[in-house]
Amino acid sequence: MTTPSASVPPGPTATAATPLRDSAVVPPSGAWMPGDPVGDRRFLTLDRGFALQGGGVLDEVTVAYETWGSLDATASNAVLVCHALTGDSHAAGRMGHGHPTTGWWKNIVGPGLAIDTDRWFVVCANVLGGCQGTTGPASIDPATGRPYGARFPAVSIRDTVRTQAALADHLGVERWLSVVGGSMGGMQALEWAITYPDRLRSVAAMATATAASPQQIAWSSVGRNAIRMDPKWREGDYYDAADGDGPTEGLRLAREIGVIHYRSEVEFAVRFGRAKSGAHDAFDLWSPFDVETYLEHHGWKLARRFDANSYLVLNRAMDLHDIGLGRGGIAFALERIRVPALTMAIDSDILYPDHLQHALRDQLLAHGVPTRHVDVISDKGHDAFLVETQQVGAPLAAFLADVEKDT
C-alpha cells in the first residue's frame, strides 16, 4: 500500500547553508532535512515494511520526486529519468528554494529539449539511500527517533527500482515510454528493463555497467575509506555536530578521488597543464598546481550539498550492482529485455570504458533486442553524458520520438 503525502516527513532540524570556503563553515551534512524549503519536490510514503535485496527491512520509506509536463489521457507519454551517484530528483530547474544546485540535466530535460517536457511527462526520483528527501541515512529511524546514520542497511539498485515502480503506480503510469539514465542512472535503467520488462516501452542506458568491475570497486573503496578514516565521521553518528565538526574533509577527499576518474587525461592536460596560479607559483612541497585547486573546489562543493553516509551507501550500491545476481548470470538477465534499447559510450571514459558499452550493445543485439548505439567523442571523460548536450541529446530525442511512433 502506498500513501501519497504532501507533508514533509519528520526529521532533525537542518543546518543553514553557508559559504563555500573551508571545513570550519561547512555543515556536518548537506542532506535536505524536513523544515528546509521543499522546492519542487513531492513526496510519496510507502507505509508498509519495505524488504531489501540484502535482507534488511525499512519500516517506512519516503520517496522524493519531481515531475515536469503533463501525463496524457492514456498515460502513455511518461519518461523516467534516473540520476547518478550524487544527483537527485532535481533533473531540471533553478537553484534555490530547497535545491542546492541547478538541474543536473538542465540542458537535456526541459521544454523543446531532448527530453521535451512539452511533449513528455517526465519524472525523476531521489534514489533510496539518498539525501535529498528520499529515505536514507540522514532520515529518522522510527525505532530510535534518531537519524539512521551507519545503521542504515545496505541497499541495491534493484531496491531503488522497486521504489520507482511504487511511484509509477501512484502516478498512474502502467508503462513508461522510456527509462533513461547514465552511470548509476544507467544501472537503474537496465534493472527496470530486466525486473519490469512489461512496464516500459524502451530503455536508454549510458556510460554504465551490467556489473561493477574490480577496478570500479577499487576506486570506490578508496573513496569510502577517505570518509571512514575521517575522525569526525564518528561511526556515522555526526548529525548533531556543529558546523565544521562533521566528516566533510573525508567527503571532500572522496569527491576529489571521484572527479579524477570522472574526467580525462586530455581534459586535465588541456585545461590545466602544469600551471600554478599567482602567489602559488613556488618550488616547494605545498604550493598547489591549478588542477589540485580545481579538485579541492569540487570537493568542497559536494561536501556542502551531500551527506557522507549517503555517499557510503550509494557508492556501495554501485559496487554491489550485478544484473546477473540471482538470475543465472548477466547473459540470462539480458534475455529478459524485450524492448528497444539505446546504448551510449564515451571514448574518454575511464570509469565505465567504451568497451563495456560496446559489449552491452553486442549482447543485446545477440538476444534480438532492437538496439541503437552512439559513441560520444569527447575529452570530458565519464561526465560527458552530463555535459555533451548535442552528442547526447540529439540521438536521445530521435530515439524517444521513434519509440513513440512505433509502439
Give the model's pLDDT for residue 11: 37
183 is a catalytic site residue: yes
Residue 210: enclosing H or E segment and its boundaries? none
Give the model's pLDDT for residue 282: 75
pLDDT digits (tens, 9 = 90+) for 319-378: 999 999 999 999 999 999 999 999 999 999 999 999 999 999 999 999 999 999 999 999
- Give 328's contacts (C-beta < 8 A, 6+ positions apart): none
Compute and round to an integer the Cα radius of gyration of the chain.
21
277 is a catalytic site residue: no
pLDDT digits (tens, 9 = 90+) for 21-45: 455 689 999 999 999 999 999 999 9
pLDDT band of residue 281 (cuts 50, 70, 90) is low
pTM for this prediction? 0.93
* Mean pLDDT lowest among 11-20, 208-217, 288-297, 313-322: 11-20
Average pLDDT over residues 45-52: 92
| Three-state secondary structure call for residue 216 | helix
| Three-state secondary structure call for residue 175 | coil
Give the model's pLDDT for residue 23: 58
224 close to 190: Cβ distance less than 8 angstroms: no
Residue 211 DSSP label: B
Give the model's pLDDT for residue 244: 94
Quick check: 2 pLDDT over 60?
no
CATH number for the domain harbouring residue 324: 3.40.50.1820
Which residue is catalytic, options 36, 159, 307, 349? 349
Which residue is catalytic, options 156, 178, 183, 202? 183
Give the model's pLDDT for residue 18: 32
Quick check: 120 pLDDT over 90?
yes
pLDDT digits (tens, 9 = 90+) for 223-270: 999 999 999 999 999 999 999 999 999 999 999 999 999 999 999 999
67 close to 89: Cβ distance less than 8 angstroms: no
Query: What total of structural domains would you count in the chain?
Result: 1
Give the model's pLDDT for residue 25: 86
Please give the residue range of the domain that contains residue 19: 2-406
pLDDT digits (tens, 9 = 90+) for 193-233: 999 999 999 999 999 999 999 999 999 999 999 999 999 99
Give the model's pLDDT for residue 279: 65
C-alpha–C-alpha distance, residues 41 and 48, integer Å: 22
C-alpha–C-alpha distance, residues 78 and 70, integer Å: 9
pLDDT band of residue 284 (cuts 50, 70, 90) is confident
349 is a catalytic site residue: yes
